[in-house]
Chain A
Amino acid sequence: MERRLKSTKMPKIDLKNLTITKAHAAMNAGDFSAVELAQAYLDSAAAKNSGANGGPGINAYLEIYDDVIEQAKEADARFKAKKATLLTGIPFAIKDNILIKSRVASAASKMLEKYHAVYDATVIEKLKKEGVVFIGRANMDEFAMGGSTENSAFGVTKNPHDTTRVAGGSSGGSAAAVAMDGALVALGSDTGGSIRQPASFCGLVGLKPTYGAVSRNGVMAMGSSLDQIGPFAKTVTDAEIIFNAIRGLDPLDSTTISDKTYSPKKSDAGAGTKPVIGVPRHFLGGDGIDKTVLENFNESLEKLKKLGYEIRDIELPNIGYSLAVYYIVMPAEVSSNLSRFDGVKYGLHVDGKTGIDDYFETRAAGFGREVRRRILLGTYVLSSGYYDAYYNRANAVRRIITEDFNKAFEKVDIIVTPTTPAPAFKIGEKTADPVAMYLEDIFTVTANLTGMPAMTVPSGFSEVAGGAKLPLGFQMTARHGDEATLFEVGKDFMDESNSTI
């Protein structure tokens, strides 16, 4: 009998167009295995992450794990045992401020360069139960502070669409990892836009869930009243799958909410028909907004109109204060949260003359410039004499901004803006001027201040001199607890209406 040689050739996997649902179906049908899928991403990540051998040096990953194939083998075993879920074998990049037990979690800081996590974050525990494959830990702005990943202690992450530009931040590594096909999907954290802005710069879907929807246990705290964890994906459907896998009440994070916490009700006009879209036109006229961004935004509105949506102008009278409020509340929380890094219990320790000198030396050597700046700013706004004028006043304004949104949501179901005022900027372009960098967050911080869910979806490209096509994003914000409407409109917008989970 003629023996056929077993083919050792790897199946060709179309990573560019792969989604969770497609990958799951293919692994289920045996078209490719989890090991083969992981290997395809490892090969792609290896080729693009470093600058060696003529690679583009995207620097999305601070570390690519050496046990990826072993993880994938376990996933294959689950498929064999018919115990696979939708996420089994799906390759993830994980932002470096999310703890995975026994692995390094550095938050891209010298402070934690050699720190090994002692437990799994709740989101990681949940993903491990599903049998996902962790490809590596993704680069970020140090302790999630920044909008360009230029504040990483371990080098900037380049934008896969144009390597002279930033990938955005602070979750720039997570976004670039997915955009360069170094992972199918990723997790990031969003304190003022840190998922949505890099997702927009890299042409991806990025979701900041409702405050409390996803547990932050095991995620390094930055601004505790603002932080949320969320997914990066190529489709709204994939983002929804990940959100459903990681959300839920957690006794280890007392800010988590249950499905009953909010019961979002559609506006009268939106009930029974398509959700009504609200546009805060008065907030889009600033001269800091790129012309191509506005054009693209108007095209997106036209697209929604053609899909049968009603578009209404709305007023958010205090939205103009959002960024100022954010840059008071956030540094205040940063200065409190980062006081734990004292060189005593874990992380970097630099010896000084006395015990108290140890703190000064350790914190000066361990924290980068932006982190030090925000700690000092936070210390200032919380100091006696300024507390009322800054911190308390900011919180009062934060409340009226939230009230404005609640009021607007009586008439509309989704509020839309561009995700960013301009496409990805050049590496180094804004590093000298912190306020210019902060203005990047103008459209994204409001969702963190109000706690409402917001999602960016890719909406086209801006062509810049030199011929590069830079992705643009369209941001949708919904009522507290109403991610469902974001997914509904997002899928419609992305023409995914026929996708089923």
Chain B
Amino acid sequence: MSATKITEKDIENLANLARIKVDAAEKTQLVKEIDSILAYVDTIKKASIGESAAEDRVGAVKNVAHPDDARALSHEDRERILVEVPDREGDFVAVKKIL
């Protein structure tokens, strides 16, 4: 079991997936840091989890559904939400053209 080695290309891909711009200097730094973190967390590979635990998946707890009710919002509360929008046109959230 060799320790995982992260490359700058990996960091680029991750940054792309995470929608975060990363500059060249930070990329070099992140390779080093994420490598050392992964080397540490790799120790879980040594844990003996047994047969059943290997099948364990997240989300097996239970699902709780909310009643599908519309909640009335006061004009003030509506305005409170809209005033936080970075780019607003009237009662709309403005975004850049996609196509």
- B70 in the interface, Cβ–Cβ < 8 Å? no
- A83 in the interface, Cβ–Cβ < 8 Å? no
Least distance between B75 CB and chain A CB atoms (Å): 13
Find out whether the CB atom of B77 lies under 8 angstroms from the CB atom of A379: no
- B37 in the interface, Cβ–Cβ < 8 Å? yes
- A258 in the interface, Cβ–Cβ < 8 Å? no
Closest residue to A355 on the B side, CB-wise? B96
Find out whether the CB atom of A355 lies under 8 angstroms from the CB atom of B95: yes
A91 to B86, CA, bound (A): 34
Residue in A354, A363, A395 whose CB lies within 8 Å of B19:
A363
A31 to B54, CA, bound (A): 63
Count of inter-chain pairs, beta carbons less than 8 A: 140
Find out whether the CB atom of A345 lies under 8 angstroms from the CB atom of B18: no
Residues of B within 8 A of A435 (CB): 36-37, 40
Find out whether the CB atom of A400 lies under 8 angstroms from the CB atom of B84: no
Residues of A within 8 A of B54 (CB): 396
Find out whether the CB atom of A251 lies under 8 angstroms from the CB atom of B66: yes
- A394 in the interface, Cβ–Cβ < 8 Å? yes
Residues of B within 8 A of A369 (CB): 26
Least distance between A195 CB and chain B CB atoms (Å): 24
- A346 in the interface, Cβ–Cβ < 8 Å? yes
- B8 in the interface, Cβ–Cβ < 8 Å? no
Residue in A119, A321, A383 whose CB lies within 8 Å of B17:
A383
A363 to B15, CA, bound (A): 10
Find out whether the CB atom of A396 lies under 8 angstroms from the CB atom of B37: no
A433 to B39, CA, bound (A): 14
- A254 in the interface, Cβ–Cβ < 8 Å? yes
Knowing A346-B85, A376-B20, A393-B45, the reply to whether A400 touches B53 (Cβ < 8 A) is yes
Knowing A115-B84, A344-B93, A397-B49, the reply to whether A372 touches B20 (Cβ < 8 A) is yes
A321 to B44, CA, bound (A): 6
Residues of B within 8 A of A376 (CB): 11, 14-15, 18, 20, 30, 34
Knowing A118-B77, A346-B86, A359-B19, the reply to whether A373 touches B95 (Cβ < 8 A) is no
Residues of A within 8 A of B98 (CB): 355
Residue-wise interface mask of B (29-44) relative to A, using a CB-CB cutoff of 8 A (1 in contact, 0 not): 0100110111011111
Residues of B within 8 A of A377 (CB): 34, 37-38
Residue-wise interface mask of A (414-438) relative to B, using a CB-CB cutoff of 8 A (1 in contact, 0 not): 0000000000000000000111001
Nearest 8 CB-CB pairs, A to B? A349-B86, A254-B64, A364-B21, A355-B96, A346-B84, A359-B19, A396-B53, A360-B21
CB pairs A–B below 8 angstroms (11 shown): A321-B44, A324-B40, A324-B43, A327-B41, A339-B18, A344-B95, A355-B97, A373-B33, A373-B34, A379-B17, A383-B14
B residues at A contact (CB < 8 Å): 6, 10-11, 14-15, 17-22, 26, 30, 33-34, 36-38, 40-45, 47, 49-50, 53-54, 56-58, 64, 66, 77, 80-81, 83-87, 93, 95-98
